[in-house]
Each structure stands twice: as C-alpha cells, then as structure tokens.
Structure 1
C-alpha cells in the first residue's frame, strides 16, 4: 500500500463524520490493555493529529512503570480545530481505563460494566473490589450514549509476551463484548521502539517482518483477526506534528469510527 496515499481521505472522513444513528450525539470508544501499552498516549495522539498541534487531553506518565497511571473512568472529547468561545467537539469520545496487571490493575468486571454503560464519569477503579450496584459510581440507567460502541485492545510491540493472567482477563472482556455484539479491534503501539528499520523510517512499518510477526503473535494470543490490528506510533518526544505518525493514527481511527457506526446502525 502507498503509505501516505490515504491520509488526506482519512482526515476528511473523520472531519465529516456524523453518527448514523440520530439518537446518538457521539460514538464511545473504550481502550483497554496491559499497563504501559499507550492507551492515554493514543488519545493524545488522536487529538494532536486532528488539531494540527501537540495537545494532551489525557494525562500520561513520563516514566515507564508497571503501575497504571490512569485510575479514574474519564471521557475524553476531542476538540475541533480553532480557538475561541465557540468550542465544538468531534462526535466520538474515548474512555481509557486502568491497565490490566498481573496481580492488581483494573478488574475485568469493571470493564464489563463500562461496556454496558454502568460506570459513572470519575469513578475511581479499585483493584481490591469491583464496582457494585450500591456504589455511588454505579450508573443504574445508562443511556445509549453511555454504552460502549467500539472496544479497542491496546498492545505494545516493544514488550515480551503478555502474561497468562493478563491474557485470561482480556479473554473475559472480549467474550462479554462479543455477547453484546460490540465490535473489537486492536492497535499495536511503540512500533518504532520495537523495530530499528521502522524507527529509522515509519514508512517501513508494512515492510517490517518483525512488526508483521508481532501482529500475528498478538492475533493468536488475543483472538483478534490480523486485518483488525493496526500498527501506530503515538506522539511521545516530538514537539511538532509528523505526517507519517498522522497517517497511521488516522488509518486506525477511521476503522474505529467505521466499526462503531456499523454497530449503532443496527
């Protein structure tokens, strides 16, 4: 495929998008995955790509840690270009959750409740006990907009194998999403750190045998088809926007919107 050929088309598609279901103001995209995979960084990268400048709607940690930096359930809106009083936002929102860890981390039961729209904004995840119907953070009557319309698994190409305990949690989450009919895709981050030829030039990502093998390994491990797994590089140490980074971000984002819109159309 021609690397940058579809970037402008993808950007235009995202800018023009309106939900196909008139009852919804926005699509809700939920990101989940192991600690440090880059869930919050992906949200920031989408925002930076669409606004044409560096932005940080989702706070991230500057250090690599085996502890999740995200602890609360927060909805991240992406502002459209332009400043001033008349703020407008894209008709899709992101939620990221506490990372899946070997021992602690977010509980699969909490992510299952989030899929159904039962987790209130600002709820603080508690690795010791899942959210219950008696908890003030529980939303007893979710609206169609509270529910998740696309589930995105975020994995890092620059890590060793995912531990069995984390894979088990992911399988639980995927099974419920399947039962609910929620479409699922995956993004693979840190492709530059995982592969020297991709680090040298992001355009090499589709030629890289190492990245190709990683995608196949992840597909086997998490059960998501290869054609639903998208390599991306999040913005990290850059201070300016980069066309090649944007190309990969927009390609993944367009598929999230497509899948989500197909789901709400049903």
Structure 2
C-alpha cells in the first residue's frame, strides 16, 4: 500500500514538473516574441518602486538571467543588510539578446529607483517617483532625499516623449517584512494615486517568498498552497491597495549559481502579466 501511494506521489510530481516546464516555455516564447504595436514606442517601460531591501534590483537581475539563460549582473545589488537604499541614480536597464554583431535588445526595459524609507529626509521623495511616471526624470539623475527634483534642474526632462513615460508601475514588497511603516505606506499611496490618475496599470511583486515560508523553501511548487503566503499577499493587498489578482509571488536569484526552472517559471509568469498590462496601456496612449 505504501509503495502504491509513493508511486502515485511520484507520478503527480512528474506531471507537475512537466506542466511547469511547458508553462515556462510558453511564457518565454511570449516574452521573446513581444513587440509594442505603436511605432513611436520602442520600449515598454516598467518602473519598480518599494521599500528599501525589497529586491527591486535583484528582480532586474533575475529577469536578465531568465532571458539570457545564464547568470548575469546588469544591476548592482547590496549583499549587506541595510536600512538605506543601495540604488541612488535613475537607471534604465535593458536586456540583450544574442551576441556580437547580431546583438539586439528586448523591447521591455526596467527603471530602478531609490527605495522608500521612513521619514521625510530619507529615501526617494515620492514626488520624484511621480515625475518619473511622467517621463520627467533624466537617465543618471542622482536622487536627493532632502529635496525633490524641480523643473529647471539638471536632471529634469522638460519634454518627455511617449517612450520616456512609464507604462507599468510595479510595487515590490518583501514577504519577510513584518510591517510597513505608516510613513512609507503614505508615500506609496501618493505614488499610486498619481499612477491611477495617469491610467498607468499597477502590479505587485512579492519577493523573498522562500525565506518567509519553510514550505516554499522546501519546494517552490508549494507557492500557491502556502496559507502563510496567502495571508502575506492579502495583507500586501490591503496595505498597498492592489487587487489580489495583480500581486505575483516571485523568488529572485540570490545565492544560486545555476539556473532553476521553478524560479524561472514564477519570474516569467509575472513578466508576461507585466507585458500584457503595459501593452493594453500603450494601445490607449
């Protein structure tokens, strides 16, 4: 009897593995074949924001890994525990395809910004995120926690093109975060209100799901079975104001030295939804 149950369990695991592989390939093909329909938009632009240490830069690296099929380091991250943002400049991250003379770039780019911090004179100013949404922040602008970017400043873009503007706003939150400070939540609310006024679609990315739940750490396929994670996602939804079906659990590449299909699958699933939401918005621009 035990042997029969074990065989059934193994067969179910094999079926799940095949399903994961099939879905991973479908999502990868979808991302690789995507092109914005409007000629004046070369890139679907995604802006990542969230509290310090949420994993914004690590997500960019993870997307690069999945699209390149190997470990890459396009965005610098901090390996040290800190309550200060490692990202200080406004940077656009592109993902390359191919090598040498045949090298091209995917038409999806990510903008990484300074993390939100508690207090009025630390972390990125929420008004700077609002300007970024509208395309008014120049590439390489160094954020100043003590003062927001103003019209006429060196880092201000007075005439943003449609391509400069943000097409998807992604809020990144760590599942390890016990509670978000009220001041950080207020800053998030201001950013979300501006995005809503502009009609920009918004999603949530919940990171560090493996370290927040032993069940998921044991097997990443348990991601949608974990009651602990379900509660975390519901809390995230209530705190930030995002619908449950717009929040995607992911695991960033961190201590791995080789690619893992389960990790890829979650990242590609989120990336495909980002493209869908952004493409819908581009059609309306």
TM range (shorter): over 0.9
SS at match of 1:6: helix
Return the offset for 1:239.
0.7
Is 1:239 the equivalent of 2:257? yes
Aligned mates of 2:251, 2:257 — CA distance in 1? 14
- The structure 1 residue matched to 2:130, chosen from 102, 112, 116, is 112
In structure 2, the residue matched to 1:91 is 107
Superposition TM-score, scaled by structure 2 size = 0.91
Is 1:61 the equivalent of 2:78? yes
- The structure 1 residue matched to 2:205, chosen from 187, 190, 193, is 187
Return the offset for 1:159.
1.2
Alignment of structure 1 residues 103-142 onto 2, 5 Å:
103=119, 104-142=122-160
Return the offset for 1:44.
0.3
Is 1:8 the equivalent of 2:39? no
In structure 2, the residue matched to 1:23 is 40
Higher Cα radius of gyration:
2
Return the offset for 1:198.
0.3
Q: Please list every run of 5 or more consecutive structure 2 residues that lacks an aligned counterpart in the other structure.
A: 1-15
SS at match of 1:85: helix
In structure 2, the residue matched to 1:261 is 279
Return the offset for 1:84.
1.7
SS at match of 2:205: strand
Kindly provide the CA deviation profile for residues 190-235 of structure 1, in whole angstroms up to 9, marking residues without a partner as x.
Answer: 0000000100110000000011100000000000000000000000
Is 1:156 the equivalent of 2:174? yes
Number of equivalent positions? 265
Distance 1:3 1:215, change over 3 A: farther
In structure 1, the residue matched to 2:50 is 33
Q: Please list every run of 5 or more consecutive structure 1 residues that lacks an aligned counterpart in the other structure.
A: none
Moved over 4 A (4+): 1-5
Superposition TM-score, scaled by structure 1 size = 0.98
Aligned mates of 2:157, 2:22 — CA distance in 1? 44
Is 1:229 the equivalent of 2:242? no
SS at match of 2:170: strand
- The structure 2 residue matched to 1:50, chosen from 47, 50, 67, is 67
Root-mean-square deviation (Å): 1.0
Return the offset for 1:5.
4.2
Return the offset for 1:63.
1.0
